[in-house]
Structure 1
Amino acid sequence: MSLDKRSTAILMQLINADSYLSAEELTEKLNVSRRTIYYDMEKINDWLDSLGIDKIAKVRSAGFILTAEAKKQIPNNLESMQAWHYEYSQDERKAWIAIYILMGGQRYFLEDLMKKIRVSRTTTIEDIKSLKADIRSFHLQLDFERKTGYTIRGEEAEIRRAIGYYLSIAIPIQNQHSLVAALQIQFNDSISSAQLLEFLRQVYHLLYQSEKQLNIKFTDDMLYSLSLRIVLFSIRITQKNDIKMDVVEKEVLRKTKAFLVTKQICCELERIFKTPFPDDEKFYLTTYLLGARVNYSEEDRNDNILSEELMNVAKKMTHQFQILACTLFDDQEMLVKNLVLHLKPAFYRVKYGLDVEKNIVDSVKSKFEEVYSLTQKVIEPFETLIGKPLPENEIAYISFHFGGCLRRAGTTLISRKKALVVCANGIGTSQILKQQIEGLFSTIDIIDSVSVRDYEEKDYMIDLVFSTIAIQKKDVPVFVVSPILSDAEKESLLKKVNAIFNRSQKQHLATDRIIDVIERYATIHQKDELVKELRHYLNRPEITIAETYKPNLIDILKEEYIHTAQSVSDWKSAIKLAAHSLIEDDYITETYRDAMISNVEKHGPYIVISPKVAIPHAKPEDGVKQLGMSLLKLEEAVSFSNDSKHDVFLIITFAPFDQESHLRALSQLTGLFSKRDTVDRLIKLQSSQEIYQYIKQSLIEQH
């Protein structure tokens, strides 16, 4: 009897669910068909039955559910499950083959690897061939020799980067339970799984203590992830596989507080692993401390040069994002400070090639495509500072930050219930989740976003909790959710929250009547539980979650709102003339026009987004009645400052109705004007019709 990865994932979803999970919700979460879900349910129930655990129940029109007793028993059985109980996917098999060989300690031949990953000779050979090709991206080489078996050769820094990458595939760390369950495995003959877990416990404690010295708090999943990496790197050191660090980089790292703390950690690691740690290893582990994602950090006094540079970068990025998104954030100082909190560890991750982040790019692109696109356009100052291009994962995490800012700016809350967001993935993830939840529930006020440890160690005056991982329930309901909510998850969450908190007179009356009928013909053994289940079932509103409509540029910039003029007396006149048709047709008020002018007076020519192009705008609440846009093309440039770089021929008046609906059109517009030849061509065109047709054709060619 085996339990594969997908079946395990379904089980974890059911364990963490407070109520029923529908087949639709599971198909969307796991990206599989309904038939696959039902097939997996049969396998899971067979596995549960073999262990004497209550099977998954299926209730028509509601979904799947586990009994409370089953939820208690399953995690222990998963943790104690022997390796042969688990079927690996191809990616997992390749990851484990790589880890076994990279961690050394013994000779691995084909038969050894077949036993480890539990597949046929032919499948193992195919996996090794595929791995041989994949591992070249790390500048490593997979070889075979008759005497020594399979080996992976290359620079130690690349080997450790590969270890980190394949660990993220083989052991997707979410919490302590999933990590312990996955580590019921021997990496090599010299170290047992029990020893490995003891090493992990001790290193985790060292890192936990280091938080006070560094005056930071790691994200929960980062603390486990970093602990495991340090354990495996330490094993490499005991095998005399030492790292080499650049002399100049060592001098830079030596000045950081993290290096002083790392030296103390390495003293303890020498005791734990009974081997000396070379100085270069201390510098190398320092880069991991500096690159670790944090929930909280006080600036290191000895690192104030980098902090000052990052502050300037964060200001530039925030300023440019506001221009591109045509919005103004209220508390810009706090937004910049939070962005620096993310940029600092990202700086070290990119600089030293530390591949320790989860792959979230596809998820972010599918849910926040426009925000991700705009973020790509504002990262240049950060890339210049690092001297390297940003990986997509890092861009995705920065887009979390800006996405949260947009949601926060566009959300009006009517606070009735107090809630807490608990997130193991860091500030960026928790902020975007917080804004999604606030957008769903106008009567819920989210008072804070905290780590799992903060939630467990402190008391909060709250009514409910939204968490990205399973946590200990106290005296309030806990709803386990994904960091990025799908439509099915949003609908399910609305049902579950309403089921608990919407206690109207009508619902109570309906439940009471049903209970009365049941009691006439049957004996109720668990009345309170039955009442609860009935209220869950009866309070399932038919809700359709519609994504915010995001029209294309050509849907907003209509031909009748494109105008040309020979010249204007000054930039204020240019804005007034550009906005005139929108005022005439009731898209904006005169107050909005005045607010656009006031913003330039207050903030300077920030609306000049590229040479010869300006996009004046204000906040939706300043007088936008409906989403609109107009374009004014001048034959003679008007200047928005004394600097010639602010001479403008094209003025696009933008009227955003909210913080999101205009993002697709705006992304297309900035993409259009990012090309110098496109701008020059538009300036030469004479009529509104010519300009409209050229923009329309350019957008078609973009796709």
Structure 2
Amino acid sequence: MILLDKTSCELLRYLIGLKEAETIMTISRELGQSRRKIYYHLEKINDALEGYGEEIVSQPRVGILLTEKQKELCRELLRHVDSRSYIMSARERMQLISLCICASKERVTIEKLMDLTEVSRNTVLNDLNEIRHQLTTEQYQVSLYSTKARGYYLDCHPLNKIQYVHSLLYHIFVEGNQAFVAVLNQKIQALFAGEKLLSGDLQAFLSQQVPLVEQDLGKKINRHELVFMLQVLPYLLLSCRNMELKKEEENSISQEFSLIRKRIEYKVAKLLSERMDSQLAVQLSDIEISLLAVLLLSYRKDRDLHATSQDFAQLQEALEAFLWRFETSSYQIENRDDLLRNLLTHCKALLFRKTYGILTKNPLTRQIRSRYADLFIFTKSCAVVLEEAWFVSLTDDDIAYLTIHIGGSLKNSPAEQRDNRQIYLVCDEGVGISKLLLKQCRDYLPNERLDAVFTTEQFKSVEDILRADVLITTNEDLETDLPVIQVHPILDNEDILNITHFVKRQGLSDAATFNQDLEKLLSTYVKDSVRSQELKEKIQKLVNEKLLANAAEETEDRTKDSN
């Protein structure tokens, strides 16, 4: 079977329409996709073309231009893909089947799963066997069974099911292909036609309630976490409603949730439930209200007015000991109180995630470990204090989040900033990332004026009166007339080259030309694309180190002149 999704088909159509050769960089810019994604989808296309003995290759210094034979083969591939459908991979098919079994109140049969996935009986049976095997390798202690009376169902402790479903939804909505997410939503809504929890009215209601919930909590939930919660909450509630609980199981799960009933999040969840019942006639059980409270407790916060409350005194003591280890090292921390408050806010949510097994990953872990290797390792060694105090095991994703907060609060060397460009940052990735981004930019632009990091909402409120020479943003869709450059939250070598060229020359053309020329030059001598990319990054790193050294020398010269 040809497993091409809509993005692969979009690339196919673009390549078929080319009259002249274009480089991967140009194609990525035209399609609004990263080069990594273009290479990924090109690999999928080549897998599909393998049976025809053809392969699409990007020629060094030239790019890609299909032959007439390749164009016809590509058109043949497209004819096998319904333009209105999405061809699911085996992994995506199993995710859809699993979610259907988790959420359905009705009996789930082979025939129903065949209609849902649009594949043969044997394929569905193979998928079910693979799901059953995968469940035995995971930590949730969930088993898949089937009987004539009940169809396919999960057998497990209720809290284990909630943890498993949340993990499944995380893999789908955060790590999955957005085209697949759209298809999944359509299929599930068709399967559960008339279900109020899946209605657009509920989504609109929840979105409108966000400011009220945050006001009642005295907390601001991280934007990415909030988007995810609104996406997955209906499915989590459905998975609660299809559980057939005995009295002792209800008592057990009620006991599991007893801790959160003392928290403000539980009171706010009850208020939200009452408004939901009043406006939409959607009633939540106590277990469902408790689940909503767990989510409100577990997701990261950008602000928490209750961070230093007395009931978290022991949490603060552990973090004090954690910071003390940093202060006895060569690392120097500034704004210690501010850092401690941010760590308290972050770690409160972290502990509730650990307690209730709510999965969250850090998309920046790899970049943190690579670019801030020494700081990551030292943070990990210091974090033993927290693990012993809280009786938890911190993953590399957890350590990376702590590294982000620490890295954003390390002292910078002073620099003269007279008559230089005014630069503002726009970042919606949370407090920790925003502070670390500011520090990174100050490291590479030590003589420029970088005074503030805005969220998009804050930036839009002051855009009309803001005087800025350059905006640096991590957002893909920031609309503004000011000069702007988009970067990754953890600057890579290409980002660093771009911002230094941009600030000095008010344009990206030189940086883009340099990167293109470097890519073409290396591809002439190194045919292995992976090896070529590694060499490119090493060269960029050397150039960046030279730029940083020049900036430091410039700062030193200014200081001498002023004295």
TM-score (norm 1): 0.57
Classify the secondary structure of the residue corresponding to 2:409: helix
Match of 2:347 in 1: 343
Could you tell me whether the CA contact under 8 Å between 1:430 and 1:449 is conserved in 2? yes
Instruction: State the Cα deviation string for residues 483-525 of structure 1 (Å, max 9, x = none).
Output: 23333444455556666458xxxxxxxxxxxxxxxxxxxxxxx
1:418 to 394, 405, 422: 422
CA distance in 1, matches of 2:300, 2:370: 24
Match of 1:88 in 2: 88
User: Are 1:190 and 2:197 an aligned pair?
Assistant: no
Could you tell me whether the CA contact under 8 Å between 2:260 and 2:266 is conserved in 1? yes
1:443 Cα deviation from its structure 2 partner: 4.8
Q: State the one-letter code of the partner of 2:157.
A: E
Match of 1:132 in 2: 132
Alpha-carbon spacing, 1:490–1:536, altered in 2? closer, same or farther (3 Å) = closer
Alpha-carbon spacing, 1:272–1:234, altered in 2? closer, same or farther (3 Å) = farther
Match of 2:154 in 1: 152
Match of 2:380 in 1: 376
1:201 to 175, 200, 204: 204
Q: State the one-letter code of the partner of 2:442.
A: E
Could you tell me whether the CA contact under 8 Å between 2:170 and 2:359 is conserved in 1? no
1:293 Cα deviation from its structure 2 partner: 1.0
Could you tell me whether the CA contact under 8 Å between 1:142 and 1:150 is conserved in 2? yes
Say which structure is richer in strand: 1
Match of 2:171 in 1: 169
Q: State the one-letter code of the partner of 1:485.
A: L
For the pair shown, the structure with the greater C-alpha radius of gyration is 1
User: Are 1:481 and 2:487 an aligned pair?
Assistant: yes
User: Are 1:219 and 2:222 an aligned pair?
Assistant: yes
1:254 Cα deviation from its structure 2 partner: 3.4
Alpha-carbon spacing, 1:203–1:317, altered in 2? closer, same or farther (3 Å) = same
1:265 Cα deviation from its structure 2 partner: 0.9
Could you tell me whether the CA contact under 8 Å between 1:418 and 1:446 is conserved in 2? yes
Superposed counterparts of 1:644-663, under 5 Å: none
CA distance in 1, matches of 2:187, 2:502: 38
Q: State the one-letter code of the partner of 2:315.
A: L
Q: State the one-letter code of the partner of 2:270.
A: K
1:222 Cα deviation from its structure 2 partner: 1.1
1:430 Cα deviation from its structure 2 partner: 2.7
Match of 1:601 in 2: none
Q: CA RMSD in A?
A: 4.6
Alpha-carbon spacing, 1:375–1:190, altered in 2? closer, same or farther (3 Å) = same
Alpha-carbon spacing, 1:122–1:322, altered in 2? closer, same or farther (3 Å) = farther
1:294 Cα deviation from its structure 2 partner: 1.5
Match of 2:406 in 1: 402
Classify the secondary structure of the residue corresponding to 1:86: coil
2:143 to 141, 144, 147: 141
Classify the secondary structure of the residue corresponding to 1:421: strand
Alpha-carbon spacing, 1:5–1:221, altered in 2? closer, same or farther (3 Å) = farther
Q: State the one-letter code of the partner of 1:109.
A: T
1:264 Cα deviation from its structure 2 partner: 0.4
Match of 2:78 in 1: none
Instruction: State the Cα deviation string for residues 81-118 of structure 1 (Å, max 9, x = none).
Output: 99953333444333222212111134433454344345
Match of 1:270 in 2: 277
CA distance in 1, matches of 2:471, 2:218: 27
5+ long unaligned stretches in structure 1: 12-19, 44-57, 65-80, 503-532, 551-619, 621-703
Q: State the one-letter code of the partner of 1:267.
A: E
Classify the secondary structure of the residue corresponding to 1:396: helix
Superposed counterparts of 1:382-461, under 5 Å: 382-406=386-410, 409=412, 412=415, 414=417, 416-459=420-463, 461=466
Superposed counterparts of 1:7-26, under 5 Å: 7=8, 22=25
Alpha-carbon spacing, 1:444–1:179, altered in 2? closer, same or farther (3 Å) = farther
CA distance in 1, matches of 2:311, 2:173: 37
Match of 2:53 in 1: none
Could you tell me whether the CA contact under 8 Å between 2:376 and 2:399 is conserved in 1? yes
Alpha-carbon spacing, 1:3–1:124, altered in 2? closer, same or farther (3 Å) = same
User: Are 1:316 and 2:321 an aligned pair?
Assistant: yes
Could you tell me whether the CA contact under 8 Å between 2:365 and 2:396 is conserved in 1? yes
Match of 1:290 in 2: 297
Classify the secondary structure of the residue corresponding to 2:332: coil
Could you tell me whether the CA contact under 8 Å between 1:491 and 1:545 is conserved in 2? yes
Instruction: State the Cα deviation string for residues 123-160 of structure 1 (Å, max 9, x = none).
Output: 54443333223223211111233454322221222222
CA distance in 2, matches of 1:63, 1:498: 30
Match of 1:330 in 2: 334
CA distance in 1, matches of 2:543, 2:325: 24
Match of 1:545 in 2: 540
Classify the secondary structure of the residue corresponding to 1:485: coil
Alpha-carbon spacing, 1:39–1:300, altered in 2? closer, same or farther (3 Å) = closer
Could you tell me whether the CA contact under 8 Å between 1:452 and 1:471 is conserved in 2? no
Alpha-carbon spacing, 1:113–1:539, altered in 2? closer, same or farther (3 Å) = closer
Q: State the one-letter code of the partner of 1:153.
A: D
Classify the secondary structure of the residue corresponding to 2:450: strand
1:219 Cα deviation from its structure 2 partner: 1.5
Classify the secondary structure of the residue corresponding to 1:85: coil
Q: State the one-letter code of the partner of 1:145.
A: T
CA distance in 2, matches of 1:411, 1:97: 57
Judge which range, 470-479 or 182-191, deviates more: 182-191
Could you tell me whether the CA contact under 8 Å between 2:3 and 2:89 is conserved in 1? no
CA distance in 1, matches of 2:306, 2:455: 20
Alpha-carbon spacing, 1:228–1:24, altered in 2? closer, same or farther (3 Å) = closer
Classify the secondary structure of the residue corresponding to 2:540: coil
Q: State the one-letter code of the partner of 1:484.
A: I
Classify the secondary structure of the residue corresponding to 1:108: coil
Match of 2:76 in 1: none
1:210 Cα deviation from its structure 2 partner: 0.9
5+ long unaligned stretches in structure 2: 13-22, 48-57, 65-80, 519-535, 546-551, 553-563
Match of 1:606 in 2: none
Could you tell me whether the CA contact under 8 Å between 2:162 and 2:236 is conserved in 1? yes
Superposed counterparts of 1:599-638, under 5 Å: none
1:210 to 187, 206, 213: 213
Match of 2:5 in 1: 4
Alpha-carbon spacing, 1:318–1:118, altered in 2? closer, same or farther (3 Å) = farther
CA distance in 2, matches of 1:153, 1:273: 32
Alpha-carbon spacing, 1:61–1:291, altered in 2? closer, same or farther (3 Å) = same
Alpha-carbon spacing, 1:353–1:173, altered in 2? closer, same or farther (3 Å) = same
Q: State the one-letter code of the partner of 2:5.
A: D
Match of 1:471 in 2: 477
CA distance in 2, matches of 1:175, 1:427: 27
Judge which range, 344-353 or 453-462, deviates more: 453-462
Alpha-carbon spacing, 1:187–1:334, altered in 2? closer, same or farther (3 Å) = same
Could you tell me whether the CA contact under 8 Å between 2:103 and 2:242 is conserved in 1? no
Could you tell me whether the CA contact under 8 Å between 2:225 and 2:299 is conserved in 1? yes
**Across the two proteins, how many residue pairs are aligned to each other?**
477
Could you tell me whether the CA contact under 8 Å between 2:273 and 2:289 is conserved in 1? yes
Could you tell me whether the CA contact under 8 Å between 1:104 and 1:188 is conserved in 2? no
Could you tell me whether the CA contact under 8 Å between 2:265 and 2:296 is conserved in 1? yes
Could you tell me whether the CA contact under 8 Å between 2:24 and 2:38 is conserved in 1? no
1:396 Cα deviation from its structure 2 partner: 2.0
Q: State the one-letter code of the partner of 1:480.
A: Q
CA distance in 1, matches of 2:179, 2:203: 13
Alpha-carbon spacing, 1:96–1:287, altered in 2? closer, same or farther (3 Å) = same
User: Are 1:281 and 2:320 an aligned pair?
Assistant: no
Match of 2:525 in 1: none
Q: State the one-letter code of the partner of 1:376.
A: K
1:226 Cα deviation from its structure 2 partner: 1.5
Could you tell me whether the CA contact under 8 Å between 2:298 and 2:352 is conserved in 1? yes
1:332 Cα deviation from its structure 2 partner: 2.1
1:342 Cα deviation from its structure 2 partner: 1.4
Instruction: State the Cα deviation string for residues 662-699 of structure 1 (Å, max 9, x = none).
Output: xxxxxxxxxxxxxxxxxxxxxxxxxxxxxxxxxxxxxx
Could you tell me whether the CA contact under 8 Å between 2:412 and 2:443 is conserved in 1? no
Instruction: State the Cα deviation string for residues 551-595 of structure 1 (Å, max 9, x = none).
Output: xxxxxxxxxxxxxxxxxxxxxxxxxxxxxxxxxxxxxxxxxxxxx
Could you tell me whether the CA contact under 8 Å between 1:210 and 1:261 is conserved in 2? yes
